[in-house]
């Protein structure tokens, strides 16, 4: 029997290869590899898709966060509130501009910021809130925007895992002041290399991002600010433009896969399923369950979740752990003074999460194998008292 991979990008290429290959050859023959019409056209299409007036492309999701923070002139002395349960780039870029990340614990069902605890983290130094729509699931933006506006804070949405997700009928990346996107190959809209974008309805922010990503130049060879070089190239823009036309269908397929996991896994008592909010439309970048245990973040590896994952691997079923160590306990953030116990929900999630195979082409048989494999692992472990 074939193995079930956690993700298989080759199947997507097989589906669109006939569209992509000639388009890439055209770019190669055109001689325009950086900038030019392909990049401008994708920026326009992506702005239309998200529902904003401005889109500035860049080299990565990481750069989109960095450029946004710089454009908003957030820096030393400023605090930015974000989640401790995310990919490190979110907090890393807050630090990169000289500001301080301030973490707030997450909600155990959605893995997103616990908005009930948000207000208590706001100080006179807070400039912005950076919610992360983790695993494709939108944060409750109605509630978050209300808190932000009552404290005059900027909202920067980290949409790296949530291209196409909606809150209350609006696409994420169009609700806060700025949206930051990644086109890393494993994201819902992925390039065949690196890429990223900033979306906003504020032309001044867009102009500042564009200036900063071009060495601080809005007029060529006249640098107004200390910028960087961050480009989306013409080949990636061409691929993204083609893939964007398929994105809604792919996200629909991910929702169908998630619904089926939900149905098949809900009878198992030792598994907690990811929760969704009624106004949210998730795009399921990951389908992440929790294997409930008494393990602590300080417990030695392998913990219960790791053992299940290893057993699944033996059966040929791939899975991933996003994320084993919350950011407040990362060595790089030691100086912030957080301890084990500072954010108990994020820490428990770190011990218990397991992301199951999730991609639009995952078929029913593969999904059955994942579910039965998981059931077998859990039964075996119970029997041997592991």
Ligand X SMILES: *Cc1c(COP(=O)(O)O)cnc(C)c1O
Binding site for ligand X (CB under 6 A): 60-62, 86-87, 89-90, 132, 158, 160-161, 182, 184, 194, 196
Q: How far is the CB of 60 from ligand X (least distance, A)?
A: 3
Residues 6+ apart with CB under 8 A from 70: 97, 208, 212, 225
Judged by beta carbon, residue 59 or residue 366, the one nearer ligand X is 59
| Residue whose beta carbon is closest to ligand X | 61
CB of 91 to ligand X, least distance (A): 9
Nearest approach, Cβ of 158 to ligand X (angstroms)? Answer: 5
Rank residues 161 and 200 by Cβ distance to ligand X and give the closer one. Answer: 161
How far apart CA 353 and CA 323 sit, in angstroms, is 8
Query: How far apart, in whole angstroms, are the C-alpha atoms of residue 300 and residue 313?
Result: 20
Under 8 Å CB-to-CB from 345, ≥6 apart: which residues?
A: 105, 106, 107, 108, 114
Instruction: Please say which residue, 317 or 354, places its beta carbon nearer to ligand X.
Output: 354
- Least distance to ligand X, CB of residue 264, Å: 27
Which helix (H) or strand (E) element contains residue 101? strand 100-103
Could you tell me the smallest distance in angstroms from the CB atom of residue 291 to ligand X? Answer: 22
Cis amide leading into 360 (omega within 30): no
Which residues fall within 8 angstroms of residue 147, CB to CB, at 6 or more apart? 115, 118, 119, 129, 153
Q: Between 186 and 342, name the residue whose CB sits nearer to ligand X.
A: 186
Sheet containing strand 100-103, edge to edge, reads 54-58, 196-200, 178-182, 154-158, 126-130, 79-82, 100-103
For the CB of residue 284, give the shortest distance to ligand X in the complex, in Å.
Answer: 14
Residue among 42 and 87 whose Cβ is closer to ligand X: 87
Report the C-alpha gap between 65 and 265 in whole angstroms: 36
Q: How far is the CB of 180 from ligand X (least distance, A)?
A: 7
Question: Would you say how long the chain is, in residues?
Answer: 386
The token pair at 58 is: 């860049």
Pairing between β-strand 154-158 and β-strand 126-130 as defined by DSSP bridges: parallel
User: How far, in Å, are 93, 112, 135, 163, 251 from residue 285 at the CA level?
Assistant: 22, 14, 5, 9, 9
Do residues 153 and 297 make contact, with C-beta atoms less than 8 angstroms apart?
A: no
The Cα 315–Cα 4 span in angstroms is: 9
Q: Which is nearer to ligand X, 61 or 373 (CB)?
A: 61
Compute the chain's Rg from CA coordinates: 21
Does residue 11 contact residue 361 with C-beta atoms inside 8 Å?
Answer: yes
Residue 156 or 374: the one with the smaller Cβ distance to ligand X is 156
> Smallest distance, Å, CB 16 to ligand X?
21
**Cβ closest to ligand X, residue 195 vs residue 360:** 195
Q: How far is the CB of 340 from ligand X (least distance, A)?
A: 23
**C-beta closer to ligand X: residue 39 or 378:** 39
């Amino acid at each position: 029997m074939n193995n079930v991979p956690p993700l298989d990008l080759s199947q997507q290429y097989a589906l669109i290869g006939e569209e992509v290959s000639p388009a890439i050859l055209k770019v190669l023959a055109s001689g325009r590899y950086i900038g030019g019409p392909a990049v401008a056209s994708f920026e326009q299409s992506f702005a239309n898709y998200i529902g904003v007036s401005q889109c500035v492309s860049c080299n990565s999701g990481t750069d989109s966060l960095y450029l946004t923070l710089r454009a908003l002139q957030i820096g030393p002395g400023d605090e930015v509130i974000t989640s401790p349960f995310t990919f490190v780039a979110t907090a890393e870029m807050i630090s990169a501009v000289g500001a301080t990340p301030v973490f707030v614990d997450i909600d155990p069902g959605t893995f997103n910021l616990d908005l009930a605890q948000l207000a208590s983290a706001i100080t006179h130094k807070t400039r912005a809130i950076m919610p992360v729509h983790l695993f494709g699931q939108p944060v409750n933006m109605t509630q978050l925007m209300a808190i932000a506006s009552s404290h005059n804070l900027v909202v920067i949405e980290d949409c790296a895992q949530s291209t196409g997700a909606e809150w209350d009928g609006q696409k994420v990346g169009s609700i806060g002041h700025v949206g930051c996107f990644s086109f890393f190959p494993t994201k819902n809209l992925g390039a065949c290399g690196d890429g990223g974008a900033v979306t906003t309805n504020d032309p001044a922010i867009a102009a500042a991002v564009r200036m900063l990503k071009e060495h601080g130049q809005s007029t060529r060879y006249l640098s107004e600010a200390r910028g960087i070089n961050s480009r989306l190239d013409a080949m990636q823009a061409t691929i993204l433009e083609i893939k964007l036309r398929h994105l809604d269908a792919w996200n629909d397929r991910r929702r169908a896969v998630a619904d089926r996991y939900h149905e098949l896994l809900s009878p198992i008592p030792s598994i907690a399923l990811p929760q969704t909010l009624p106004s949210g439309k998730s795009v399921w970048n990951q389908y992440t369950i929790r294997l409930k245990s008494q393990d602590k973040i300080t417990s030695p590896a392998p913990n219960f979740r790791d053992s299940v994952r290893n057993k699944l691997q033996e059966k040929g079923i791939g899975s991933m752990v996003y994320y084993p160590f919350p950011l407040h306990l990362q060595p790089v953030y030691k100086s912030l003074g957080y301890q084990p116990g500072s954010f108990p929900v994020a820490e428990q999630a770190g011990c218990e999460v397991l992301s199951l195979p999730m991609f639009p082409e995952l078929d029913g048989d593969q999904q059955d194998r994942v579910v039965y494999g998981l059931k077998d692992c859990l039964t075996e472990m119970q029997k041997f008292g592991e």
